[in-house]
Structure 1
Amino acid sequence: MTTAQDVRSRTIFPTLVLECTVPDAERINVELKQAILQKKSEDAGIHRSNFNGWHSKDDILQWGGDAMRTVAVAAIEMCNGFTHDDGMKNDEPRFSWSIQAWANVSQKGASNQYHAHPGAFWSAVYFVDDGGSENSGQLVLQDPRFPLNKMTVPDLSVRDTQGNRERTEISVTPKPGRMLAFPSWLTHGVRPHQGEQDRISIAMNLIASPIAKPAS
């Protein structure tokens, strides 16, 4: 007989990850793919977390057309539903979103190192093309407590009430039209893409900018 009676458990401090499917994604993705590949042919891009892949400058909102603006609005609407301003009065918003957005094109073997996005509040990823592979190029979200929760005894993990063991990372398979958003401090990366075609995605940072009050 156990000496522990009436054991209860609860989950605290969860990390919120949002997901949606952008309407009319098939048409949007055709337009985005054309614009992104055209830009890639004209611009060498920049290097950040990308390994062997192409990373555009943070200016796709300037050349991505109506399709990119539609994706950006969808990201804002999704994140707005899960954002609360503790100091707001009379339902008057005090902040608006400034968006940084860029395209990533990964050929076979390309990946993105683990990184976070300091200075932003939400970060989002939109998948344009999975590159013909269902088993590679996954977006990986890493437990922010890792590796601290594995340093004492690496082989031990916590088990929840359903018997599922604690995971140190979650992988998300690219699917055209799928969009995810998560807190910008969450470390994430992309596993090597093994498809024969280009894996294409768009990343966005939503930065909270104070709304200027009109002069009295």
Structure 2
Amino acid sequence: MKAENRLHFGVPIVEVQLDEVCERAADIAQLLLEIRAQQTGIQRSNQRGWHSQDDLFNHPAEPIKWLSEVIFQVAGKLIRHADHMPDNTELLLSSMWANINDAGAWNAPHVHLPCEWSGVLYIDVADIAPVSESGIHDGDILFLDPVPVGAPYRPATTVAYTPKVGTMYVFPSYLMHMVAPHFSDKPRISVAFNFRVAANIQRFAR
């Protein structure tokens, strides 16, 4: 597994491409669309888009169980490496949910505190995403500088990533991010997740 660990604003954003997810993406996407038809979504950062319940990893379907294990294993390895943790550091997959954005949907700026690490895995995105006048692609994920002092000190206040099917990004949960509007007629589908460091939780008495 080859991962790209980039520093933006001094914050690590790790990217990896998962071929095994690409091979099963169509079946997973169809299942998530079926789940959307059966369940009422919840409101988080989603604007006009559908956000599943936060415990998607509890869904009994085999493709979801498989995807949960992939996320747990791969993201856990990336987090330990990015945060210089020992290999035996216990991490907990605390939440996992599907995002389905139809035309006109987007996600407002938000963070995932109090979790320590978060990420997203893309299941169905456009092969060639349209580009806006700003240079941002349809459905890009944008990360915002947590200390936006601006030029000439740190001139780039945002950075945008254009995912492909099977792309996973992992980043600290405090990093503000958003999703650009989606305009294609085909739904844009991703699965997001949060991790907690077990030792941090155990420090609290109640």
Q: TM-score, structure 2 length as denominator?
A: 0.80
Indicate the residue corresponding to 1:30 in structure 2. Answer: 26
Indicate the residue corresponding to 1:162 in structure 2. Answer: none
Verify: 1:66 aligned to 2:55, yes or no.
Answer: no
Indicate the residue corresponding to 2:4 in structure 1. Answer: none
Q: How far did 1:65 drift?
A: 2.5
| Of 75-84 and 117-126, the range deviating more from structure 2 | 75-84
Bigger helix share: 2
Query: Residues 24 and 171 of structure 1: is their aligned pair in 2 closer, same or farther, counting only changes over 3 Å?
Result: same
Question: Which of the pair has more CA radius of gyration?
Answer: 1
Q: Which amino acid aligns with 1:205?
A: N
After superposition, what is the alpha-carbon deviation per residue over 1:73-124, rounded to whole angstroms, capped at 9, x for unaligned? 2111221222235xxxxx7946432331100000000000000011111110
- Superposed CA RMSD in Å reads 2.4
What SS class does the counterpart of residue 65 from structure 1 fall into?
helix
What SS class does the counterpart of residue 17 from structure 1 fall into?
strand
What SS class does the counterpart of residue 16 from structure 1 fall into?
strand
Query: Residues 92 and 192 of structure 1: is their aligned pair in 2 closer, same or farther, counting only changes over 3 Å?
Result: closer
Q: TM-score, structure 1 length as denominator?
A: 0.77
Instruction: Please list every run of 5 or more consecutive structure 2 residues that lacks an aligned counterpart in the other structure.
Output: 1-6, 131-137
Q: Which amino acid aligns with 2:113?
A: P
What does residue range 1-216 of structure 1 map to in structure 2 within 5 Å? 14-63=10-59, 64-85=64-85, 93=88, 95-131=90-126, 134-135=129-130, 136-146=138-148, 149-150=149-150, 156-158=151-153, 166-210=155-199
Q: How far did 1:131 drift?
A: 4.2
Instruction: Please list every run of 5 or more consecutive structure 1 residues that lacks an aligned counterpart in the other structure.
Output: 1-10, 86-90, 151-155, 160-165
After superposition, what is the alpha-carbon deviation per residue over 1:122-179, rounded to whole angstroms, capped at 9, x for unaligned? 1101111114551301100001112xx14xxxxx4347xxxxxx31000111210100
| Of 92-101 and 172-181, the range deviating more from structure 2 | 92-101
